[in-house]
Amino acid sequence: MFYKFKIYFLHLCKYLGFFWISRMLFKSKLRILCYHGFTMKDEDEFVPGLFIQPEIFHKRMQYLADKKYNIITLQKAYDYKEQRNFPDDAVVLTIDDGFYSVFKEALPILKNLNFPATLYLTSYYFDKDCPLFNLATQYMFFKTQKTDIDLKSLAISGASSQNDPDAVQKIIDFGKKLATEEERIIILKKLGKLLDVDYDNLNKSRTLNLITLAEMKALMAGGIDIQLHTHRHRFPTEHKVATYEIEKNKQTINNHLPTPMTHFCYPSGDWSKDHWPILAEQDILTATTCEPKLIDYDMPNYSLGRILDSARVSQIEFEAELSGFNEFIRKIRKK
C-alpha cells in the first residue's frame, strides 16, 4: 500500500513540475549511477536488487540521452571535482563486479549511445570458467522444483535438509573454507544433482560467471574503463587483509590495462573512515559507496554516493533520483 502511494506521489510531483525544478536546483551536482548484472535468463527474479533487464537498462540509457544528461567518465568527474567545476547535469555510469552479461547485454547498448562507463572488476573469478560459488549455491535452491531434499550426502554440518533455515548459508560458508575452486565446483555438482539443477548447464549459460580477459579487452575497446573492486569481494578494516585485497586486484588486472587502476568501489557498499588511510597508501583517487547521494565538491573522495538501479526500481523512481527530487526529500527529512 505504501509503495503504491509513493509511486502515485512521485507521478504527481513530476506532473506538477517538481522534478524539473529539482533538476535546475541540482544541475551543478554530479550523479553516479550504479549497476551490477543484466538479465540473460531469470536473474532479475533471482536477485532483483542485483540484476536489471536489458530492455529496461536500454530505456534508462535512452532517457539519459533524450533528456540531454552529460555522460562523463569517472576520471573526468574526479578532475572536475578537484577543479570545483562540474559541467551541468553530469552523470557517471558505473557497473560493479564484472558479470559476463556486462559484455553480452550492456556493452552493445552503451556503444550504440556512445556512453562511457566504469566497470569495477573483482579479480578472483575473472577469466575463470565457473560461476560465483555463493550465487550459484543460492541460485540452485531458487531453481529447484524439489521439496524436502536430503542434503546429508554433502557432509556439511548444519545442512542436512533443504528445509533447514541455515542450509544455504552453511553450504556457502563451507565452500569458502575450501582451498581450491575445483573443490567448490565438486560441491556445486553434487548439490545440483540433489536439487535437479544441472551445474554444467548453469556454467554454460554464464549467467553467474564473470568476464574473460578477451571480453574485458572488448569492453575497453567499447569505452568501458576498468577499475578496482578487490580480489575476493571483501574489504575489512584490518590493514593487512584490506591491503592484500587491493594489491591482488591490481596484480591480476593492471598488466592488461593501458594505465593503472586508481578508482575503487567498496564491496557491497560497506565502508568506514578506517579504510581511508589504506586507500591513500594505495594511491587511490576515489571510492564509491552504495549510499544514494548526489555529489558536491565538499563530499570526501573516499565516500562518493551512488544511485543504485536494478529490477526493483521503477522508471518514475529512477527519474526522481536522477532529477534530484529524492535528494531534495532527503534534505527535508534530515532537517
Domain boundaries, the chain: 2-127+210-334, 133-205
- What are the backbone dihedrals phi and psi of residue 267, each rounded to the nearest 5 degrees, phi first? -60, 130
How far is 258 from 261, CA to CA, in rounded Å?
9
Asked if residues 306 and 287 have their Cβ atoms less than 8 Å apart, the reply is no
C-alpha cell at 45: 527474479
Residues found in the chain:
335
DSSP3 helix / strand / coil % (the chain, rounded to 5): 50, 15, 35
Q: In a structure prediction context, what are the per-residue pLDDT tens digits for the chain, which is 335 residues long?
A: 789 999 999 999 999 999 999 999 999 999 999 999 999 999 999 999 999 999 999 999 999 999 999 999 999 999 999 999 999 999 999 999 999 999 999 999 999 999 999 999 999 999 999 999 999 999 999 999 988 888 989 988 888 887 777 899 999 999 999 999 999 999 999 999 999 999 999 999 999 999 999 999 999 999 999 999 999 999 999 999 999 999 999 999 999 999 999 999 999 999 999 999 999 999 999 999 999 999 999 999 999 999 999 999 999 999 999 999 999 999 888 87
Asked if residues 102 and 219 have their Cβ atoms less than 8 Å apart, the reply is yes
Please report the pLDDT score of residue 334 as a whole number. Answer: 81
CATH superfamily of 2-127+210-334: Glycoside hydrolase/deacetylase (3.20.20.370)
Classify strands 70-71 and 90-97 as parallel, antiparallel or unpaired.
parallel
Asked if residues 261 and 296 have their Cβ atoms less than 8 Å apart, the reply is no
Asked if residues 30 and 90 have their Cβ atoms less than 8 Å apart, the reply is yes
Please report the pLDDT score of residue 327 as a whole number. Answer: 96
Please report the pLDDT score of residue 179 as a whole number. Answer: 92
pTM above 0.75, yes or no: yes
Please report the pLDDT score of residue 163 as a whole number. Answer: 77
Asked if residues 44 and 53 have their Cβ atoms less than 8 Å apart, the reply is yes
Please report the pLDDT score of residue 138 as a whole number. Answer: 96
User: Across the chain, where does the E strand assignment appear?
Assistant: 31-35, 37-38, 51-52, 70-71, 90-97, 117-121, 224-228, 263-265, 286-288, 307-308
Please report the pLDDT score of residue 158 as a whole number. Answer: 81
